[in-house]
Amino acid sequence: MPQLRQNIILKEWVVIATERAKRPEQLREEKIPDCDSLPEHDDKCPFCDNPRSHKEQEFLRVPETGPWRVRVVANRYPALEPPTDSIHVYTEGFFRWMDGIGHHEVIIESPKHNETIANMDIGDVELIIETYRKRYLALKKNDYLETIIPFRNHGVHAGASIPHPHSQIIAVPVIPRDVMTRMNESIRYHEEHRGCVFCKVLNNELEVGERIVLETPDFVSFIPYAAASPFHTWVFPKRHSSDFGDITDEDITDLAYVLRGTLRKIHIGLNDPDYNFIIRSAPRGYSNSEFFHWYITIVPRLTRTAGFELGTGMFINPSIPENDAEYLRSIKI
């Protein structure tokens, strides 16, 4: 019998289609892993060191002198651009619009064209997360930016147009509806139960244990009870914190281990699937809140959104979260 499971954070329902559920290994991508088929250097790649290299504004280079390990540059084709004047909201009949202001930058994660977080040295992953923190805090100083979203698209089906290892940060002058829904639902839970719904979910997962993928003293990755898609994974800090920018150097060490380890299990177990990961942090005005808990969402692109999902906003997951977690735990890294 299929199940309807509710995401307690968003109050959204998900269909766990047990009757059509596939074994985890059946969801493996039948392809050569992208990074295994790529050269270490590509003369045509704008992120590799060559005459065609990315010449846009550089925000950060690590280290500052000598061969670089991580670079942060302006996106060559930005979705949004910094304001050149005061910010205005306009009306057009009963519609509203504003100039497409914001910030859009690229984190080039390695000089090597064929690397990915799943196969990097742990020190390189720590450096990437440290770079996220630096740029997140730098962007947070801009009062006009309300929401900052670091994210990574891996593979064509996840939206990546360049295979060279990179992630992005987009910051916008509004709080998007999806972000606001998380805030409102967490506020409602806090008012009704005097606690953090994210901490409640986290503590339940730690107690039950069957959906946990990888755990350290300070971080844990797990498949949520109402996962919207196969191998949909969350990475939570165990310590309550609403703002990603508050992570310590010690946190970065632990997070690097859990993030790389989880992505490596997905890489090996599912044959390097396309995926997105998103860092979900509190928007401006909600830092240091008792009701919100920042976390990372990892979404392997193993299924397609179809008419039912588009018509209802309700997802059908043809995979059982407990089985997915058990399978990933079994993958040796």
Backbone angles phi, psi at 114, to 5 degrees: -105, 20
Tell me whether residue 21 is exposed, middle or buried, using C-beta atoms within 10 angstroms of its C-beta: 0 to 12, 13 to 18, 19 or more: middle
Q: CB of 254 within 8 A of CB of 246?
A: no
Q: Which of 103, 104, 154, 166 is catalytic?
A: 166
Q: How far apart are CA 276 and CA 33, in angstroms?
A: 16
Burial status of residue 150 (CB atoms within 10 A of its CB: 0-12, 13-18, 19 or more): buried
d(CA 132, CA 107) in angstroms, rounded, equals 8
Q: Is 166 a catalytic residue?
A: yes
CA dist 235 and 213 (Å) reads 10
Is the CB of residue 11 less than 8 Å from the CB of residue 312?
Answer: no
The set of catalytic residues is 166
